[in-house]
Amino acid sequence: MDLKLKGKTAFVSGSTQGIGFAIAQQLLAEGAIVTINGRKQERIDEAIARLKELVHGATVNGIAADFSKAADVDKLITQLPDVDILINNAGIFEPRAFTDIADEEWLRFFEVNVLSGIRLARHYFPKMLAKDWGRIIFISSESAIMIPEEMIHYGMTKTAQLSVSRGLAELTKNTGVTVNAVLPGPTRSEGVSTFIQQLATTQNVTPEQAEADFFKTARPSSLIQRFADVQEIASLVTYVASPLSAATNGAALRADGGLVRSIV
């Protein structure tokens, strides 16, 4: 299937590894011109080299910006004034007992996971409306609707993304712009490998045991009973980024391995 993404410009936040990297890879494979992002130029350069190896003839650039710093986002926007497709993927997660989460942590999670996408959309969304075409996709999580007891602050940010996403979609009436959220379930990214190690430490078991127990105890309703591959998330995101998905707007689309026990 031709997703008609050839020549479209895209920005993927937090894309030097994990789900963001896979999204960049698939958009490039469809012929889009992609700007990737991470916090360090060195990591960006490495990721660009890997993407060029994976996708022959890829047009890929990178901009370093830390989404916990508003000034970095301002700089990014100056360097990249316009995009057709905005993927708000950058995100942090870490297991922590509710009573141990200080105010600063709540604010840091909100700034990196929610405000990052808001700041970018505030700039790119009006431009998309003006040219009557655009795609904004928030990478939320199944944790937006199944709040994990081991990281309530993370769940809060993922629910907030759904609210912003649906709210922006309300402003797209009768235009060629869509705003959607994709909700991955547990997915084997670099970040999740670290998460499993942290979980193992808090549970005083080996990482292998923590992973085996994860689907039995923490996520028993998963229908696939395994971590998704990052490419399995990226393929849904790439479709939603495509002109072919024009009838999907204001949606929260699950790629959660059937974890959420809801029919619609």
Q: Looking at the annotation, which residues are catalytic? A: 154
Is 92 a binding residue for ligand NAD by CB under 6 A? The answer is yes
| Shorter beta-carbon distance to ligand NAD: residue 42 or 132 | 42
Query: What is the C-alpha end-to-end distance of the chain, expressed in Å?
Result: 26
| Shorter beta-carbon distance to ligand NAD: residue 3 or 112 | 112
Q: Which helix (H) or strand (E) holds 226?
A: none
Sign of the four-CA dihedral 75, 78, 79, 83: positive
Is 26 a binding residue for ligand NAD by CB under 6 A? The answer is no
Is 67 a binding residue for ligand NAD by CB under 6 A? The answer is yes
Query: Please, what is the minimum distance in Å from the beta carbon of residue 2 to ligand NAD?
Result: 27
Q: What are phi and psi of 80, to 5 degrees?
A: -130, 80
- Strand ranges for 17-118 from DSSP E: 33-38, 60-64, 85-88
Query: Please, what is the minimum distance in Å from the beta carbon of residue 144 to ligand NAD?
Result: 9
Query: Please, what is the minimum distance in Å from the beta carbon of residue 139 to ligand NAD?
Result: 4
- What is the token pair recorded at 197? 């190690």
CA distance 118 to 6: 27
Is 186 a binding residue for ligand NAD by CB under 6 A? The answer is yes
Name the burial class of residue 223, with classes exposed (0-12), middle (13-18) and buried (19+) by CB atoms within 10 angstroms of its CB.
exposed
| Shorter beta-carbon distance to ligand NAD: residue 7 or 220 | 220
Query: Please, what is the minimum distance in Å from the beta carbon of residue 131 to ligand NAD?
Result: 27
| Shorter beta-carbon distance to ligand NAD: residue 39 or 52 | 39
SS3 (DSSP) at 66: coil
Q: Tell which positions 242-261 bind ligand NAD, by CB under 6 A.
A: none
Among 35, 165, 180, 187, binds ligand NAD (CB under 6 A): 187
Query: Please, what is the minimum distance in Å from the beta carbon of residue 166 to ligand NAD?
Result: 17
Size of site (CB under 6 A) for ligand NAD: 27
Is 11 a binding residue for ligand NAD by CB under 6 A? The answer is no
Is 20 a binding residue for ligand NAD by CB under 6 A? The answer is yes
Residue 156 CB coordination number (10 Å) = 17
Among 10, 55, 83, 93, binds ligand NAD (CB under 6 A): 93
| Shorter beta-carbon distance to ligand NAD: residue 145 or 169 | 145
CB 27 within 8 A of CB 85: yes
Any residues with CB less than 8 A from the CB of 96 and at least 6 apart, and which?
Answer: 105, 150, 151, 153
Is 210 a binding residue for ligand NAD by CB under 6 A? The answer is no
Alpha-carbon distances, residue 200 vs 168, 177, 179 (angstroms): 39, 43, 37
* Interface with ligand NAD (CB under 6 A): 14-20, 38-39, 66-68, 89-93, 112, 139, 141, 184, 186-187, 189-192
